[in-house]
């Protein structure tokens, strides 16, 4: 979808999702459930260490246009969520109360959020952007429906709890850690799992994001050359193609100030022409 000149944005936060995901990101997988069962008061400071900066999320969402509405879905009777109420109300966020669920059930945030979002798109035809702050795959149908209805879909999720399929379903996906103003924290150190009688029980090794980005760049350049049948491609067109193939791509999350810096770091793949104000790039062939 081409972004309009006067964009209007709706933001939907699955608040339970991001609070739990941030806690687990900081303290380790399933830490939130274990600490809640034991009592957060027994480990003071751990909740504070995993505080979510709501303003960073809302400020980023506002970069896409005028915020028409912002809603946060959670069980606000829970102490861990109630502590955020002042911060949320101060940013004019509408707090949607979800009924507490049994231990084996979900809180229903995905259903309520999705129903409200679809209703809002029909009620507000001038709505251009939908920002979904969550990471799980339950929101894939919503993201797909929003796109079919002509909206530009932005996803924001916490590293470690992001569905790759949801990322692909959005027009753009950003990790919470990559938002301006969010401090970069070291991931928790996990102890190696003990070997079992059937073998070693280990988590699969995650791919190197730098290697993944290089492969993505090479593929985008090849597609661009085949599509345009030209020697040089515009930087912006290459980046747009990379974002279409992987909406989570961000040169800043990889440690680069600009896309040009990212290209310069990969001379084995890309050749950059900076002789004019219009930056151009092409795939570097094996013979060069």
- Written in H, E and C, the secondary structure of 61-124 is HHCCCEEEEEEEEECCCCHHHHCCHHHHHHCCCEEEECCCCCCCCCCCHHHHHHHHHHHHHHHC
Just give the CATH number of 209-283.
3.30.420.610
| Longest distance between any two alpha carbons in the chain, whole Å | 65
Q: 8-178 sits in which CATH class?
A: alpha beta
pLDDT band at residue 2 under the 50/70/90 scheme: very low
Q: What percent of the chain has pLDDT over 90?
A: 57
What distances in angstroms separate CA 20 from CA 24, 33, 50, 52, 134, one per listed residue? 6, 8, 9, 10, 11
Q: What is the reported pTM? A: 0.74
Q: Check if 8-178 and 209-283 are the same fold.
A: no
Q: At what angle do helices 209-228 and 235-245 cross, to 10 degrees?
A: 120
pLDDT tens digits along 143-188: 999 999 999 999 999 988 899 999 999 999 999 988 888 876 654 4
Least confident of 2-11, 13-22, 148-157, 269-278: 2-11
Higher pLDDT, 130 or 38: 130
User: What whole-number distance in Å separates Cα of residue 218 and Cα of residue 164?
Assistant: 21
Residues 174, 60 contacting (CB under 8 angstroms): yes
Section 206-230 average pLDDT: 86
Listed by start position, the domains of the chain span 8-178, 209-283
pLDDT tens digits along 266-280: 999 999 998 888 889
Spell out the residues 6+ positions from residue 159 whose beta carbon is closer than 8 angstroms to its own. 25, 175, 176, 177
- CA terminus-to-terminus distance, the chain: 37
DSSP assignments along 2-23, one per residue = PPPSS-EEEEEEEHHHHHHHHH
């Amino acid at each position: 979808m081409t972004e309009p000149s006067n964009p209007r944005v709706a933001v939907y936060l699955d608040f339970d999702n991001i609070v739990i995901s941030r806690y687990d990101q900081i303290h380790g997988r399933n830490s939130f459930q274990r600490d809640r069962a034991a009592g957060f008061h027994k480990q003071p400071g751990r909740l504070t260490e995993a505080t979510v900066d709501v303003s960073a999320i809302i400020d980023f969402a506002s970069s896409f246009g005028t915020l028409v509405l912002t809603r946060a879905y959670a069980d606000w009777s829970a102490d861990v969520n109630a502590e955020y109420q002042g911060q949320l109300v101060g940013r004019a966020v509408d707090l949607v109360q979800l009924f507490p669920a049994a231990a084996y059930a979900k809180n229903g945030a995905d259903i309520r959020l999705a129903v409200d979002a679809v209703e809002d798109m029909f009620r507000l035809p001038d709505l251009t952007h939908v920002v979904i702050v969550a990471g799980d795959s339950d929101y894939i149908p919503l993201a797909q429906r929003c796109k079919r209805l002509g909206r530009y879909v932005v996803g924001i999720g916490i590293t470690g709890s992001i569905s790759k399929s949801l990322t692909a379903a959005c027009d753009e996906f950003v990790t919470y850690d990559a938002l301006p103003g969010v401090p970069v924290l070291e991931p928790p150190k996990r102890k190696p799992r003990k070997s079992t009688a059937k073998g070693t029980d280990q988590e699969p090794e995650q791919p190197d994001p730098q290697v993944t980005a290089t492969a993505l760049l090479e593929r985008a350049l090849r597609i661009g050359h085949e599509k345009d049948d030209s020697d040089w491609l515009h930087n912006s067109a290459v980046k747009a193609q990379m974002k279409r193939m992987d909406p989570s791509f961000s040169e800043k999350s990889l440690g680069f100030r600009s896309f040009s810096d990212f290209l310069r770091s990969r001379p084995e793949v890309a050749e950059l022409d900076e002789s004019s104000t219009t930056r151009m790039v092409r795939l570097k062939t094996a013979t060069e």
